[in-house]
Amino acid sequence: MISRTNRHGVRRMALLAQWATAVLITVAVFAPAITAQATTPTAARSSTPAHKRVAADAAPGAPVKTIGNRNAPITMEVFSDYQCPSCGSFFENTLRAMIQDYVANGKVYLVHHDFPLQMHTYSGQAARWATAAAMIGQFQDVDAALFDSQAKWPVDGDIEKYVAGAISPANFKRIQGILKGCAAAPPTSKADRTVPQVDPSCPVDQYIVQDIVLGYQVPVQATPTFIVHYKGQSYPASSGIITWPILKQFFDTLLSQ
């Protein structure tokens, strides 16, 4: 029979053992990560932003689907589909405010990547219009026009009308000239991650395919997906609609480092 004093002693020992286990497990969980963080050289963990990798391979006269100053401290790469409702909402409620505020002030450099989804009938065609506009330096206006009229052109695929309304007639003619040979179906991302065919007679398709392949590498699992780069480091990709106040808070945290 165990006396009351012994029973208290056993309980105290058991409690002590539990706390010791707690401390040991906590150390075991946190220590490897802390050590790894301390020993891995910074350069080994940094990655080159995808748009810079593209720029290195791009031919002269390649489309520039970017907004802002390329020397801005923060670079944000967005993989988007012009027909995806979440992408439209993200553009209207977050990116528009960001462009007016942080891109205009030289804090953020915005890089657009086309990631047209196979399930959207006209998103590949919209990507062609945006890429052609980027080839003549009219990307920002056409990009905004495509998102602004997102509820309209997917009805009948008449994208031309909305692009024409966003730029001058002369520039519209130049874009039409670029897209003259684009008769085949536009490239779209595939669920099985196969690289889509490039139509050799369509000068913009190779750039759309380049964006899709970059998206596969991220990997983009849904649109919109974005990656933020700061001081040579890439932060994990985020998907979905993030509101501007929360995204701004993240940027401010980075800039205050």
Binding region for another protein (CB under 8 A): 15, 18-19, 21-22, 25-26, 29-30, 33-34, 37-38, 40, 42, 45-46, 86, 221-223, 230, 233-243, 245-247, 249-250, 253-254, 256-257
| Residue carrying structure tokens 């684009």 | 182
Provide the greatest CA pair distance for the chain: 100
Q: The tokens of 220 are what?
A: 């983009």
Cβ-based nearer residue to another protein, 154 or 203: 154
Q: Which of 60/245 has CB closer to another protein?
A: 245
Nearer to another protein, 26 or 48 (CB): 26
Residues forming beta bridges with residue 108, ordered by sequence position: 74
Residue 121, token pair as written in the block: 């009938």
User: What minimum distance in Å lies between the beta carbon of 75 and another protein?
Assistant: 13
Q: In terms of CB distance, is 16 or 195 closer to another protein?
A: 16
Task: Give me the least distance between CB of 94 and another protein, in Å please.
Answer: 10
Between 45 and 173, CB nearer to another protein = 45
In the complex, the smallest distance separating the C-beta of residue 56 from another protein, rounded to whole angstroms, is: 22
**What does 24-80 look like in DSSP terms, one character per residue?**
HHHHHHHHHHHHHHHHS-HHHH----HHHHHHHHPPTT----EES-TTSSEEEEEEE
Q: Nearest approach, Cβ of 245 to another protein (angstroms)? A: 4
74/80 Cα distance (integer angstroms): 19
Q: Least distance to another protein from the beta carbon of 250, Å?
A: 4
Burial (0-12, 13-18, 19+ Cβ within 10 Å), 229: buried
